[in-house]
Chains A and B, each alone.
Chain A
Amino acid sequence: MASRRAGAKTYEQVGLAAWQATEKVNAELFTLTYGAIVRQVLADYEDCVPEANAKLDAMGRSIGGRLIEEFNAKNEQQRCVDFRDTCETIAGVALRMFLGVGGHCADWNADHTSCLVVMETNPLADFVELPERYRDLSYGQMLCGVIVGALEQVQTRATCEWEKDALRGGDGFAMRVTLVGQIDTPYPFDD
Protein backbone atom coordinates (compact mmCIF):
# COMPACT_ATOMS: atom_id res chain seq x y z
CA MET A 1 0.00 0.00 0.00
CA ALA A 2 2.95 2.24 0.59
CA SER A 3 3.84 2.88 -3.01
CA ARG A 4 1.88 5.62 -4.68
CA ARG A 5 2.49 4.84 -8.30
CA ALA A 6 4.79 2.44 -10.02
CA GLY A 7 8.35 3.62 -9.49
CA ALA A 8 7.31 6.61 -7.40
CA LYS A 9 8.38 7.41 -3.87
CA THR A 10 6.23 6.33 -0.95
CA TYR A 11 3.99 8.88 0.73
CA GLU A 12 6.24 8.67 3.75
CA GLN A 13 9.35 9.52 1.72
CA VAL A 14 7.63 12.42 0.03
CA GLY A 15 6.42 13.67 3.41
CA LEU A 16 9.86 13.46 4.99
CA ALA A 17 11.40 15.32 2.06
CA ALA A 18 8.77 18.04 2.39
CA TRP A 19 9.39 18.23 6.14
CA GLN A 20 13.13 18.61 5.56
CA ALA A 21 12.51 21.46 3.14
CA THR A 22 10.09 23.31 5.41
CA GLU A 23 11.08 26.08 7.76
CA LYS A 24 10.45 25.06 11.36
CA VAL A 25 9.21 26.90 14.38
CA ASN A 26 9.65 25.90 17.97
CA ALA A 27 7.16 23.12 18.70
CA GLU A 28 6.20 24.46 22.11
CA LEU A 29 5.54 27.91 20.70
CA PHE A 30 3.24 26.28 18.18
CA THR A 31 1.45 24.10 20.73
CA LEU A 32 1.02 26.90 23.24
CA THR A 33 -0.18 29.32 20.56
CA TYR A 34 -2.83 26.83 19.54
CA GLY A 35 -3.84 26.45 23.18
CA ALA A 36 -4.14 30.21 23.53
CA ILE A 37 -6.36 30.38 20.43
CA VAL A 38 -8.65 27.67 21.77
CA ARG A 39 -8.94 29.44 25.13
CA GLN A 40 -9.70 32.72 23.40
CA VAL A 41 -12.38 31.12 21.23
CA LEU A 42 -13.97 29.60 24.33
CA ALA A 43 -13.89 32.99 26.01
CA ASP A 44 -15.40 34.67 22.95
CA TYR A 45 -18.28 32.20 22.93
CA GLU A 46 -18.70 32.34 26.70
CA ASP A 47 -17.82 28.69 27.16
CA CYS A 48 -20.46 27.50 24.72
CA VAL A 49 -18.66 24.37 23.56
CA PRO A 50 -20.64 23.60 20.36
CA GLU A 51 -20.16 27.15 19.10
CA ALA A 52 -16.48 27.05 19.96
CA ASN A 53 -16.14 23.78 18.05
CA ALA A 54 -17.84 25.34 15.03
CA LYS A 55 -15.63 28.42 15.21
CA LEU A 56 -12.44 26.36 15.38
CA ASP A 57 -13.66 24.41 12.38
CA ALA A 58 -14.39 27.59 10.41
CA MET A 59 -10.99 29.04 11.28
CA GLY A 60 -9.40 25.82 10.09
CA ARG A 61 -11.23 26.01 6.77
CA SER A 62 -9.88 29.48 6.10
CA ILE A 63 -6.39 28.30 6.92
CA GLY A 64 -6.72 25.21 4.74
CA GLY A 65 -7.89 27.24 1.77
CA ARG A 66 -4.68 29.24 1.94
CA LEU A 67 -2.31 26.48 2.95
CA ILE A 68 -3.21 24.34 -0.04
CA GLU A 69 -1.21 26.68 -2.28
CA GLU A 70 1.82 26.16 -0.08
CA PHE A 71 1.28 22.43 -0.15
CA ASN A 72 1.03 22.36 -3.93
CA ALA A 73 3.98 24.69 -4.35
CA LYS A 74 6.26 22.58 -2.16
CA ASN A 75 5.16 19.25 -3.61
CA GLU A 76 5.94 18.72 -7.24
CA GLN A 77 3.30 16.15 -7.57
CA GLN A 78 0.57 15.47 -10.00
CA ARG A 79 -3.03 15.56 -9.05
CA CYS A 80 -4.14 12.72 -6.82
CA VAL A 81 -5.72 10.05 -8.96
CA ASP A 82 -8.52 9.14 -6.57
CA PHE A 83 -9.79 9.74 -3.05
CA ARG A 84 -7.63 6.96 -1.72
CA ASP A 85 -4.57 8.70 -3.13
CA THR A 86 -5.82 11.97 -1.62
CA CYS A 87 -6.19 10.53 1.89
CA GLU A 88 -2.84 8.78 1.76
CA THR A 89 -1.31 12.09 0.71
CA ILE A 90 -2.95 13.90 3.62
CA ALA A 91 -1.84 11.26 6.11
CA GLY A 92 1.64 10.61 4.75
CA VAL A 93 2.70 13.93 3.25
CA ALA A 94 0.60 16.82 4.58
CA LEU A 95 0.66 15.85 8.26
CA ARG A 96 4.40 15.37 8.07
CA MET A 97 5.02 18.56 6.16
CA PHE A 98 2.98 20.87 8.37
CA LEU A 99 3.01 19.16 11.77
CA GLY A 100 6.02 16.89 11.60
CA VAL A 101 4.02 13.83 12.54
CA GLY A 102 3.56 10.57 10.72
CA GLY A 103 0.18 9.25 9.80
CA HIS A 104 -1.51 6.53 7.85
CA CYS A 105 -4.92 5.61 6.55
CA ALA A 106 -6.92 2.80 8.05
CA ASP A 107 -10.40 1.39 8.14
CA TRP A 108 -11.42 2.10 4.55
CA ASN A 109 -15.03 1.49 3.70
CA ALA A 110 -15.85 -0.85 0.82
CA ASP A 111 -16.13 1.76 -1.92
CA HIS A 112 -13.13 3.80 -0.73
CA THR A 113 -14.96 6.97 0.07
CA SER A 114 -14.24 7.09 3.80
CA CYS A 115 -11.26 6.30 5.95
CA LEU A 116 -9.56 7.00 9.23
CA VAL A 117 -6.50 9.22 9.06
CA VAL A 118 -4.54 8.00 12.06
CA MET A 119 -1.96 10.34 13.57
CA GLU A 120 0.99 8.86 15.40
CA THR A 121 0.93 11.77 17.82
CA ASN A 122 -0.94 15.04 17.99
CA PRO A 123 1.34 17.97 18.74
CA LEU A 124 -1.68 20.25 19.18
CA ALA A 125 -2.69 18.26 22.23
CA ASP A 126 0.62 18.06 24.06
CA PHE A 127 0.18 19.28 27.65
CA VAL A 128 -3.62 19.37 27.34
CA GLU A 129 -6.12 17.92 29.80
CA LEU A 130 -9.73 18.76 29.14
CA PRO A 131 -11.58 19.90 32.25
CA GLU A 132 -14.97 18.37 32.95
CA ARG A 133 -16.95 21.39 31.75
CA TYR A 134 -15.25 21.22 28.36
CA ARG A 135 -15.56 17.48 27.92
CA ASP A 136 -17.37 17.89 24.60
CA LEU A 137 -14.79 20.31 23.26
CA SER A 138 -13.23 19.08 20.07
CA TYR A 139 -9.89 20.57 20.95
CA GLY A 140 -8.19 19.85 17.63
CA GLN A 141 -11.20 20.74 15.49
CA MET A 142 -9.19 23.34 13.60
CA LEU A 143 -7.16 20.56 12.04
CA CYS A 144 -10.32 18.94 10.64
CA GLY A 145 -11.30 22.31 9.23
CA VAL A 146 -7.91 22.73 7.57
CA ILE A 147 -8.31 19.42 5.75
CA VAL A 148 -11.84 20.22 4.57
CA GLY A 149 -10.87 23.75 3.52
CA ALA A 150 -7.82 22.58 1.61
CA LEU A 151 -9.72 19.82 -0.22
CA GLU A 152 -12.41 22.28 -1.18
CA GLN A 153 -9.87 24.31 -3.11
CA VAL A 154 -8.93 21.27 -5.17
CA GLN A 155 -12.52 20.50 -6.15
CA THR A 156 -13.10 17.85 -3.48
CA ARG A 157 -15.94 18.17 -1.02
CA ALA A 158 -15.34 16.11 2.09
CA THR A 159 -16.18 15.98 5.77
CA CYS A 160 -13.67 15.47 8.53
CA GLU A 161 -14.30 14.80 12.22
CA TRP A 162 -12.29 13.36 15.07
CA GLU A 163 -13.26 9.77 15.56
CA LYS A 164 -10.63 8.98 18.14
CA ASP A 165 -9.56 11.79 20.42
CA ALA A 166 -7.27 10.86 23.29
CA LEU A 167 -8.33 14.02 25.11
CA ARG A 168 -11.85 12.64 25.23
CA GLY A 169 -10.90 9.11 26.22
CA GLY A 170 -10.06 7.62 22.82
CA ASP A 171 -7.01 5.49 22.20
CA GLY A 172 -4.90 7.82 20.12
CA PHE A 173 -5.85 10.42 17.54
CA ALA A 174 -7.66 9.65 14.31
CA MET A 175 -9.89 11.66 12.00
CA ARG A 176 -12.66 10.24 9.87
CA VAL A 177 -12.40 11.74 6.39
CA THR A 178 -15.38 11.10 4.13
CA LEU A 179 -15.78 12.04 0.50
CA VAL A 180 -19.00 13.89 -0.23
CA GLY A 181 -18.43 14.66 -3.90
CA GLN A 182 -16.39 16.39 -6.50
CA ILE A 183 -16.93 20.07 -7.12
CA ASP A 184 -17.23 20.55 -10.87
CA THR A 185 -14.78 22.99 -12.36
CA PRO A 186 -16.78 26.00 -13.42
CA TYR A 187 -15.93 26.47 -17.07
CA PRO A 188 -16.80 29.78 -18.65
CA PHE A 189 -18.83 28.01 -21.30
CA ASP A 190 -21.44 25.26 -21.57
CA ASP A 191 -20.37 21.96 -23.06
Chain B
Amino acid sequence: MSAPPTPATLPEEPENPPGVHSVWIINKSGGLVFRDVYADIAPIDTNETLRLASMWHSMHAIAAQLGPELRGELPSETDGFHLHCAQTPTGTKLMLTCAPGTFADHDAGQAVLRTVRDLYADYVMKNPFYEAEMPIRCELFEKRLRDAIDAVNGAA
Protein backbone atom coordinates (compact mmCIF):
# COMPACT_ATOMS: atom_id res chain seq x y z
CA MET B 1 0.00 0.00 0.00
CA SER B 2 1.45 3.36 -0.94
CA ALA B 3 0.89 6.36 1.27
CA PRO B 4 -2.55 7.92 0.84
CA PRO B 5 -2.40 10.87 -1.51
CA THR B 6 -2.47 14.26 0.08
CA PRO B 7 -5.60 16.25 -0.63
CA ALA B 8 -3.59 18.59 -2.84
CA THR B 9 -2.87 15.79 -5.34
CA LEU B 10 -6.45 14.55 -5.55
CA PRO B 11 -8.03 15.26 -8.90
CA GLU B 12 -10.65 17.91 -8.79
CA GLU B 13 -14.11 16.49 -8.17
CA PRO B 14 -15.82 16.45 -11.53
CA GLU B 15 -19.22 17.98 -11.88
CA ASN B 16 -21.96 15.47 -11.24
CA PRO B 17 -24.35 15.88 -14.13
CA PRO B 18 -27.99 14.86 -13.57
CA GLY B 19 -29.60 11.87 -15.23
CA VAL B 20 -28.29 8.53 -16.46
CA HIS B 21 -24.50 8.53 -16.79
CA SER B 22 -23.72 5.21 -18.41
CA VAL B 23 -25.11 1.81 -19.36
CA TRP B 24 -23.11 -1.40 -19.00
CA ILE B 25 -23.80 -4.93 -20.19
CA ILE B 26 -21.91 -7.82 -18.62
CA ASN B 27 -22.01 -11.31 -20.10
CA LYS B 28 -22.61 -14.40 -18.03
CA SER B 29 -18.95 -15.00 -17.39
CA GLY B 30 -18.31 -11.51 -16.10
CA GLY B 31 -16.89 -9.94 -19.24
CA LEU B 32 -17.90 -6.42 -20.12
CA VAL B 33 -19.50 -6.57 -23.58
CA PHE B 34 -20.95 -3.10 -23.80
CA ARG B 35 -20.50 0.27 -22.18
CA ASP B 36 -21.65 3.65 -23.34
CA VAL B 37 -21.67 7.02 -21.64
CA TYR B 38 -24.51 9.54 -21.84
CA ALA B 39 -23.30 12.38 -19.66
CA ASP B 40 -20.21 14.44 -19.16
CA ILE B 41 -18.55 12.32 -16.47
CA ALA B 42 -14.93 11.64 -15.70
CA PRO B 43 -13.58 9.14 -18.26
CA ILE B 44 -12.44 5.68 -17.17
CA ASP B 45 -9.91 3.79 -19.24
CA THR B 46 -10.93 0.54 -20.90
CA ASN B 47 -8.94 -1.79 -18.66
CA GLU B 48 -10.47 -0.18 -15.64
CA THR B 49 -13.99 -0.71 -17.00
CA LEU B 50 -13.25 -4.38 -17.61
CA ARG B 51 -11.94 -4.73 -14.08
CA LEU B 52 -14.91 -2.95 -12.56
CA ALA B 53 -17.32 -5.08 -14.57
CA SER B 54 -15.84 -8.36 -13.44
CA MET B 55 -15.63 -7.07 -9.88
CA TRP B 56 -19.32 -6.22 -9.95
CA HIS B 57 -20.05 -9.62 -11.45
CA SER B 58 -18.32 -11.34 -8.52
CA MET B 59 -19.92 -9.13 -5.89
CA HIS B 60 -23.23 -9.80 -7.52
CA ALA B 61 -22.71 -13.56 -7.34
CA ILE B 62 -21.86 -13.32 -3.64
CA ALA B 63 -24.86 -11.11 -2.96
CA ALA B 64 -27.10 -13.55 -4.83
CA GLN B 65 -26.00 -16.27 -2.41
CA LEU B 66 -26.66 -14.07 0.58
CA GLY B 67 -30.01 -12.71 -0.58
CA PRO B 68 -31.52 -14.75 -3.40
CA GLU B 69 -34.79 -12.77 -3.21
CA LEU B 70 -33.08 -9.86 -4.99
CA ARG B 71 -33.13 -11.85 -8.25
CA GLY B 72 -30.24 -9.86 -9.59
CA GLU B 73 -31.84 -6.50 -9.03
CA LEU B 74 -29.10 -5.44 -6.72
CA PRO B 75 -29.05 -1.68 -6.20
CA SER B 76 -26.00 0.17 -5.02
CA GLU B 77 -25.85 3.71 -3.79
CA THR B 78 -22.99 6.08 -3.13
CA ASP B 79 -22.86 9.81 -2.57
CA GLY B 80 -21.60 10.32 -6.09
CA PHE B 81 -23.85 8.06 -8.09
CA HIS B 82 -26.46 5.34 -7.92
CA LEU B 83 -26.17 2.03 -9.70
CA HIS B 84 -29.14 -0.01 -10.87
CA CYS B 85 -28.67 -3.56 -12.03
CA ALA B 86 -30.90 -6.24 -13.52
CA GLN B 87 -30.13 -9.75 -14.62
CA THR B 88 -31.86 -11.68 -17.38
CA PRO B 89 -32.68 -15.34 -16.70
CA THR B 90 -29.82 -16.23 -19.05
CA GLY B 91 -27.32 -14.57 -16.71
CA THR B 92 -26.61 -11.41 -18.68
CA LYS B 93 -26.38 -8.36 -16.43
CA LEU B 94 -27.60 -4.95 -17.44
CA MET B 95 -26.67 -2.00 -15.31
CA LEU B 96 -26.76 1.73 -15.36
CA THR B 97 -25.18 4.46 -13.31
CA CYS B 98 -26.94 7.73 -12.70
CA ALA B 99 -26.87 10.79 -10.51
CA PRO B 100 -28.46 10.28 -7.08
CA GLY B 101 -32.16 11.08 -7.25
CA THR B 102 -32.54 10.42 -10.99
CA PHE B 103 -35.13 7.76 -10.26
CA ALA B 104 -37.87 8.16 -7.70
CA ASP B 105 -37.49 4.55 -6.60
CA HIS B 106 -35.99 1.18 -7.41
CA ASP B 107 -38.83 0.33 -9.81
CA ALA B 108 -38.26 3.43 -11.92
CA GLY B 109 -34.65 2.39 -12.42
CA GLN B 110 -35.74 -1.14 -13.28
CA ALA B 111 -38.17 0.24 -15.86
CA VAL B 112 -35.29 1.88 -17.74
CA LEU B 113 -33.31 -1.35 -17.54
CA ARG B 114 -36.28 -3.15 -19.08
CA THR B 115 -36.05 -0.76 -22.01
CA VAL B 116 -32.36 -1.60 -22.32
CA ARG B 117 -33.21 -5.29 -22.21
CA ASP B 118 -35.88 -4.97 -24.90
CA LEU B 119 -33.42 -3.20 -27.18
CA TYR B 120 -30.79 -5.82 -26.36
CA ALA B 121 -33.18 -8.65 -27.28
CA ASP B 122 -34.10 -6.94 -30.54
CA TYR B 123 -30.99 -5.26 -31.85
CA VAL B 124 -28.26 -7.45 -30.39
CA MET B 125 -29.61 -10.98 -30.08
CA LYS B 126 -31.55 -10.83 -33.33
CA ASN B 127 -28.63 -9.38 -35.25
CA PRO B 128 -27.44 -12.40 -37.23
CA PHE B 129 -23.85 -11.15 -37.15
CA TYR B 130 -23.68 -10.75 -33.40
CA GLU B 131 -21.73 -13.57 -31.75
CA ALA B 132 -23.14 -14.53 -28.37
CA GLU B 133 -21.05 -13.44 -25.35
CA MET B 134 -18.78 -11.24 -27.49
CA PRO B 135 -18.44 -7.44 -27.27
CA ILE B 136 -21.45 -5.69 -28.75
CA ARG B 137 -20.68 -3.58 -31.75
CA CYS B 138 -24.12 -2.99 -33.18
CA GLU B 139 -24.69 0.53 -34.38
CA LEU B 140 -28.45 0.19 -34.41
CA PHE B 141 -28.42 -0.90 -30.80
CA GLU B 142 -26.12 1.94 -29.77
CA LYS B 143 -28.27 4.47 -31.54
CA ARG B 144 -31.61 3.21 -30.20
CA LEU B 145 -30.20 3.00 -26.72
CA ARG B 146 -28.80 6.51 -26.93
CA ASP B 147 -32.20 7.79 -28.08
CA ALA B 148 -33.91 5.98 -25.21
CA ILE B 149 -31.49 7.24 -22.56
CA ASP B 150 -31.51 10.76 -23.97
CA ALA B 151 -35.29 10.66 -23.66
CA VAL B 152 -35.00 9.60 -20.02
CA ASN B 153 -32.44 12.30 -19.32
CA GLY B 154 -34.48 14.91 -21.15
CA ALA B 155 -37.58 14.12 -19.14
CA ALA B 156 -35.78 14.09 -15.81
**Residues of chain A having any CB pair with chain B under 8 Å:** 65-70, 72-74, 78-79, 153-155, 185-189, 191
Contact = CB atoms under 8 A, between A and B. Distances in A.
Contacts of B125: 66-67, 69-70
A189 B61 contact: yes
A66 B58 contact: no
Interface stretch (B33-41, B83-91, B96-104, B148-156): B83-91
B70 interface: no
Contacts of B120: 69, 73
B38 to A, nearest CB: 21
Contacts of A186: 28-29
15 contacts: A70-B121, A70-B122, A70-B126, A72-B117, A72-B121, A73-B118, A73-B121, A78-B71, A153-B90, A154-B90, A188-B30, A188-B54, A188-B58, A189-B58, A189-B62
Nearest to A191: B65
A106 B39 CA distance: 54
A69 B58 contact: no
Given A73-B114, A153-B90, A187-B61, 7 more contacts: A67-B125, A72-B88, A73-B121, A78-B71, A154-B90, A188-B54, A189-B61
Chain B interface main SS type: helix
B90 A69 contact: yes
B21 interface: no
A108 to B, nearest CB: 24
Nearest to A62: B132
Please classify how large the interface on chain B is, using the bins under 10, 10 to 19, 20 to 34, 35 or more: 20 to 34
Interface in B41-61: 54, 57-58, 61
B121 A69 contact: yes
A186 B61 CA distance: 10
A68 B58 contact: no
Contact of B89 (A66, A79, A191): A79
Given A73-B117, A73-B121, A188-B30, A68 B90 contact: yes
A66 B132 contact: yes
Contacts of A79: 89
Contact of B126 (A66, A78, A187): A66
Given A70-B121, A70-B122, A188 B90 contact: no
The 9 A-B pairs of least Cβ separation, nearest first, read A73-B121, A69-B121, A66-B125, A69-B125, A153-B90, A70-B121, A187-B61, A188-B58, A154-B89
A187 B92 CA distance: 13
Given A65-B132, A66-B132, A154-B89, A188 B57 contact: yes
Contacts of B126: 66, 70
Contacts of A188: 29-30, 54, 57-58, 61
